[in-house]
Amino acid sequence: MTVEQMKLENQLCFRLYTAARLTMGAYHPYLDPLGITYPQYLVLLVLWEKDKQPVMDIAHKLLLDSNTITPLLQRMEKSMLINRTKGKEDSRQRIVSLTEKGRAMYELAQHIPNCLRNDVTLKTGDEEEILRMIPILDKLIDGLKQTNLNEKIINLHGRRNAIASCGLHSKQQENGNDL
């Protein structure tokens, strides 16, 4: 491993983290007046597309685990944006639906995507370049989803130390032994 690989400026993860953090921050001026957070906005987007969905369907669309989405939905329910009810076919399943307040928020929020696109375009000067990133990011997300799935499978089979296995892989490659 070279010293260059360990520099912050050479880390893709840092760029992705920073872009995600700054993107969420760019939404604050639009979401704060509505009294919602960025993750709540994402849940609302899912429900505005199709109301009355099982919790796990929403979690799947947002790539969240159930232990992450449940507290988020609880806060939204307290804010009277959504209702959670028992499923008709399976009482263990919870169905999430918009309240009147949640549906009304659509009217208030429908300008947000265009406002944010305009903000980004004004700052970067190139909307087409930003739009070209979408399929690239989708491909990256799909690859990372597969990596995370593989890691879960590996963990089930007792290999819990990804750093050690990665280090072993790198050492074997250095010695000309590909895994």
CATH of 4-125, one of 2.60.40.1510, 1.10.10.10, 3.40.190.10, 1.10.357.10: 1.10.10.10
Are 62 and 46 in contact by the 8 Å Cβ rule? The answer is yes
C-alpha 36/C-alpha 75 separation (Å) is 10
Confidence at residue 173, expressed as pLDDT on a 0 to 100 scale: 45
Give the domain ranges of the chain: 4-125, 127-179
Question: pLDDT value at position 96?
Answer: 98
pLDDT in tens, 12-33: 999 999 999 999 999 999 999 9
Report the C-alpha gap between 142 and 149 in whole angstroms.
11
Residue 158 has a pLDDT of 55
Is a pLDDT exceeding 60 seen at residue 178? no
- Decide: 132 and 125 in contact? Cβ < 8 Å: no
pLDDT at 100 over 80: yes
pTM to 2 decimal places = 0.81
Report which of residues 119 and 168 the model is more confident about. Answer: 119
Q: What is the pLDDT of residues 60-97, one digit of tens each?
A: 999 999 899 999 999 999 999 999 999 888 888 999 99
Least confident of 4-13, 43-52, 133-142, 154-163: 154-163
Q: Name the band, by pLDDT with cuts 50, 70 and 90, for residue 150.
A: low
> 48-68 pLDDT, tens per residue?
999 999 999 999 999 999 899
Tell me which of 125 and 51 has the higher pLDDT: 51
**Long-range contacts of residues 45-49, Cβ cutoff 8 Å, at least 24 apart:** 47/82, 47/96, 47/97, 47/98, 47/102, 48/98, 48/106
